[in-house]
Amino acid sequence: MSEAVERPLKAESQGHAPGRGRLEGRRILVVGGGQDDRGLDDAPIGNGRAMSILFAREGARVAVADRNMQSAEATASMARDGSAVSIEANVAVPAEIKAMVSEAVAKLGGLDGVVFNVGIGAGMWLEGSTPEIWDRVFSVTLRGAMLTLQAAMPVLADGSSIVLISSIASMKAGSRMPSYDASKAALGGLMRHAGIEGERRGIRVNIVAPGLMDTSIGREATRGRPGRAKTPVPLGRQGTGWETAYAALFLMSDEAAYITGQTLAVDGGMTGLR
């Protein structure tokens, strides 16, 4: 980390800020809204769970989709009373994606927003990358996103918002996993195309690209590559899942009504200042 004065985290960064009705009446599907604690007893909140809880707090009804139904149900139970439902779906299986969107529409009575928060990485360096690894990563991170948008676009209400969760690995080298970097970068092309398809109906499509985040997956990455914890971040610390969630909240809300086809990095200044 860069040299920095210790600053207390804001209420938003800790998930303690009250709701302000920014998504009142919206119906939002969060794909990847569960959480993998990676065996941690003190697991910090992840991006998907934080987004699901925050959207509900801000007045939305949320469909929490995850391949782990128990995890999806746990997230839904943390949301505002009665505001969230859970759906079991594995985006690596195309048929389950179409069923997931249909179930979300049925349970919520329609859709005004979709977040795709799923991605995997494997295969260190080019030497450790195999055709099988490459295809598996792309089938989840990129094909899963494409099929989700394919199923969702026809049923989304006019004026809806779509947010794809990428990574700053799509913008600068760092993960050491070619399949992860390339699949996250490819989301940019998908986002721009979907934005063109949605423009006549006022459907906005944007990307949130988190940096080094203090999540369970982030901590696991640091265990495997201890140097990650020493990466210089201009704001002097790793981010929280809540900070990813608030960026997605902005893009999902009417505050971003004139924003589409853009990538918002939530990275403490790493891509802009380093």
Of the candidates 180, 203, 219, 245, the residue annotated as catalytic is: 180
The one-letter amino acid code at 74 reads A
Point out which residues pair with 63 in neighbouring strands.
29, 85
| Short-list 220, 239, 237, 274, CA closest to 43 | 220
CA 273 vs CA 225, 234, 235, 257, 267: distances in Å: 23, 7, 10, 27, 10
Q: Which residue has the tokens 């794909």?
A: 31
Distance CA 256, CA 112 (A): 14
Q: Which residue has the tokens 């200042």?
A: 273
Q: Which residue has the tokens 């920014």?
A: 22
Phi, psi of 122 (to 5 degrees): -165, 160
Distance CA 59, CA 37 (A): 27
Which pair of structure tokens corresponds to residue 220?
A: 């696991």
Task: Please check whether residue 157 is in contact with residue 203, taking contact to mean a CB–CB distance below 8 angstroms.
Answer: no
Which pair of structure tokens corresponds to residue 245?
A: 């969630």
246 is catalytic: no
- Report, as residue numbers or ranges, the catalytic residues: 180
